[in-house]
């Protein structure tokens, strides 16, 4: 994606906007390549790398729709061990261009 297509990553979209990216991720230590802000992931493995859609600071919203999402592992360009993925719970991946790392977290307080 060209940096000129940054609007695809906007968290505000209309009915005529770009919609969402659907990714079917299979295996362990895989790489995903989102193209829009909202990415739906059918996952039976673990994600180690996210290919940045633009070379700038940005945020992605990742939602797993599999019964037992594999989630993430540290390595690749994902910083540290992020939160555990749960079906239907949005996770946000914030890209830091300086470090070339994604920081993954949730807005849901999963402390019990």
Question: Domain ranges in the chain?
Answer: 20-106
pLDDT over threshold 50, residue 112: no
Predicted confidence (pLDDT) per residue in 25-47, tens digit: 666 678 998 888 888 888 677 88
pLDDT at res. 9: 60
pLDDT at res. 19: 61
pLDDT at res. 59: 92
Whole-model pTM: value is 0.78
For the sheet containing 101-106, what is the strand order?
21-32, 38-50, 58-64, 91-96, 101-106
pLDDT at res. 2: 55
């Amino acid at each position: 994606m060209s940096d000129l297509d940054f609007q695809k990553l906007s968290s505000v979209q209309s009915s005529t906007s770009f919609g969402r990216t659907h990714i079917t991720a299979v295996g362990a230590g895989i790489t995903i390549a989102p193209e829009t802000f909202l990415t739906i992931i059918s996952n039976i493995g673990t994600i180690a790398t996210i290919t940045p859609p633009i070379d700038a600071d940005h945020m992605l919203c990742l939602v797993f729709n599999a019964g037992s999402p594999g989630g993430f592992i540290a390595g690749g360009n994902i910083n540290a061990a992020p939160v555990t993925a749960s079906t239907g719970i949005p996770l946000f991946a914030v890209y830091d261009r300086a470090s070339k790392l994604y920081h993954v977290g949730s807005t849901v307080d999963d402390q019990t």
